[in-house]
Chains A and B, each alone.
Chain A
Amino acid sequence: MKKSQIQIGETIAIMLVFAVLVGLGFAFYVRISKISLQKELLELEEQRAIQKVQSIINLPELICSSERVISENCIDLYKIKAASEKKIFQKLYYQGVFGSSSINVTQLTPAEEEWEIYSNPKGVSASAFYLPVVIHDPIENTNNFGLIKILIYTK
C-alpha cells in the first residue's frame, strides 16, 4: 500500500471515530434532555391537577356567597344538592371545566351524607385529592364540616 493511500485510510478512520464520538455525545444529550423533559411534564401534570382542584372549589356554581361577598373554602349545601339531584354538571360545558374526573362531597357533621356531583372517569390512573370545606346551609344558617374528594384521571 502506498503512503498516500495509508494517509487517506487514516483520515477516514479518524473521521469515523470522530463521528462515532460526536454521535454518542449527541445521543447522551438527547437522552438526558428527554429524562428532564419527562420530569418537567410530570411536575406540570401535578401542578395542573392542583390548579384544577382549586378552580373546582371556587366555581360560582358551588361557592357560598352572601350577595356578592364570596366565602373562601365554603360551599353551599343547596348548590351541592342541585348539582347532585339535578345533574347540573353533566352538561357538555362542564366537561371543559372538570375534564376526566369524579367529584364527591361528603358532609361529616352533624350527620354523614354524601353526594356525587360529577363523574367522568376516563383514564387509566387517578390521583385523589381531599379538601376539607365548610358546607353552609342557607336556610338553617348553619355551617357544617365536610370533605371534597376529587379524583383526577390521567391517560
Chain B
Amino acid sequence: MKRGMAIQLNWILVLIAGAAIMLFFAGIINFAMKASEAKSNVEILNAMGSIASSIRAGEKLDKPITGLPKSEIRYECSRGGEGQPCSCDLKIGSGGAGFNIDPTLIFFAPSRMATPTLLVKSMDWDAPFRVANFLYFTSTTIRYVFVYDGSSEDFRDLIVGNVHSGLKKEEYEITELDKFKDKNDDQVKFGDFGVRPDDIVASELEGMDDEDASAIMVSGNENKGSISYYQKKEDKWEAVNEVSYSYLGLPQLLGAIFIDESKLFDTENYLCMQEKSFDTMHNVADAYKKRADLILAGYESPSSCFNTYNSAVNGLLELTTLTEDSYSGEIDILNLFTQISTIQAYNDNALTSSCALIY
C-alpha cells in the first residue's frame, strides 16, 4: 500500500469512528431525554393519580400541586358510538403519553392545562344523599373572568366563593366590561352569569388564538339551570355545537365552568361527566332503594314509619328511573329536582317520626 493511500484510509477510518461515536452518544442523549420525559409524565400522572385516590377515600381538597415538571396536559373525552358510555384520557406533553381516567371518577378539567402548578379542588355532590365527590383540576396559567349583571350578584358570589383558592380570577359587572384588558395570558375563560358573552371582550382578545379564549353562559341558580359554551372566533363569540346543557346543583355547575367543550378539538367533555354523574346517581339511588325495601319489610303496617318508607321506596324508584338512560337521552332535570326534594321531605318525616333515616 502506498503511503498516501494509507493516510487517506486512516482519515476515512477516523471519520467512520467519529461518526459511530457521535451516533452512539446521540442515541444515549435521545434515550436519556425520552427517559426523562417519561419520568416527568409519570411524576405528573402519579400526582394526579394520588389526588384521584384520596378523593375516592372521601378526602376534601382545595390545594395547589406545585413543582410539577413543565408540560402541557390535555384532557379529552370521547365515545365509541351513539348511546355508548364515554371514556376520558389525560395526555401529557407533545408525545401524548397518557392514561385512561378511572371510568367511575367524576373529573372536571379544561381541555388544556399547563404545569408546573395545578390547582385541585373537590366537592361533594348530594342529590339528596351523597352521590360522589367531584374532582376539579385547573392551572394557574388560565385566567378566569366572571361577568354578571346586577340581578345575579348573589349567584356570582356563591360561585366565586366556591372556586379553587389561588385561582387567577377577576369579576366584572356587564356595564364595566370596557375595563377588561388583554394581559397576554395563556388562556382566558369567561363565566357569564345571566348574560350573553359580550363581543367587546372578544374584540379586546382579537390578537389571541381562538382556541385560547372561551366562555360559558349560565342561566339558572345554584339548584339547577342550563349552560352554553362559546369559543372566540376572531373578534366575536361563536356558540359551540349550538346546544345548551343542563346542570343539577352547584357542584355540577362548577364542573361545567372548569371543563370545556370545544368545536376546535371536537370534545364533549362536559356531556361525558354529566352522564357519568347521573349514572353514579342512578347506582347510588338504586342501593338506597334496595336498602329502603329491606327496612320497609321490617316495619309493621300500618305505622308512620311504614308509610314514610313506602312512599320513599316509590320516590327512590322514580329517581332511579329518571337517571336510567343517562347515556342515551337527556335527563329531565326539573322532574329530577322535584323528586330529590320529595325524598328530602320523606327523610325529614322519618326523622320527626323517629324512624330509621332514609339516607
Contact = CB atoms under 8 A, between A and B. Distances in A.
Contact of A67 (B53, B132, B347): B347
Contacts of A123: none
A116 to B, nearest CB: 16
A8 B13 contact: yes
Contact of A54 (B46, B53, B279, B284): B53
A54 B57 contact: yes
A128 interface: no
Nearest to A69: B130
A149 interface: no
Contacts, number: 106
A8 B294 contact: no
B200 to A, nearest CB: 42
A78 B359 CA distance: 11
A67 B359 CA distance: 6
Interface in B115-135: 124, 126, 128-132
A103 B10 CA distance: 73
Interface string B16-47: 01001000100010000001000000000010
Contacts of A66: 357
Interface in B1-19: 1, 3, 6-7, 9-10, 13-14, 17
Interface string A96-120: 1100000000000000000000000
Contacts of A63: 130
Interface string B94-116: 00000000111000000000000
A66 to B, nearest CB: 6
B291 interface: yes
Contact of A81 (B13, B102, B294, B347): B294
Given A61-B287, A97-B104, A70 B6 contact: no
A94 B287 CA distance: 12
Interface in A1-34: 2, 4-5, 7-8, 11-12, 15, 22, 26, 33
Contact of A55 (B1, B53, B131): B53
A61 B287 CA distance: 6
Task: Bin the interface of chain A by size.
Answer: 35 or more
B130 A70 contact: yes
Name the residue in A4, A63, A83 with the highest tally of chain B Cβ atoms < 10 Å from its Cβ: A4
Interface in A24-68: 26, 33, 44, 47-48, 51, 54-55, 58, 60-61, 63, 65-68
Contacts of A91: 283
A60 B290 contact: no
A34 B150 CA distance: 62
Interface residues of B, number: 46
Contact of A82 (B50, B124, B293): B293
Contacts of A79: 287, 291
Contacts of A97: 104
Contact of A93 (B56, B104, B128): B104
Interface of B: 1, 3, 6-7, 9-10, 13-14, 17, 20, 24, 28, 35, 46, 50, 53-54, 56-58, 102-104, 124, 126, 128-132, 279, 283-284, 286-287, 290-291, 293-295, 298, 347, 351, 356-357, 359
Interface of A: 2, 4-5, 7-8, 11-12, 15, 22, 26, 33, 44, 47-48, 51, 54-55, 58, 60-61, 63, 65-68, 70, 72, 76, 78-79, 81-83, 85-86, 88, 91, 93-94, 96-97, 138-139, 141
5 contacts: A4-B1, A4-B9, A26-B28, A79-B287, A81-B294
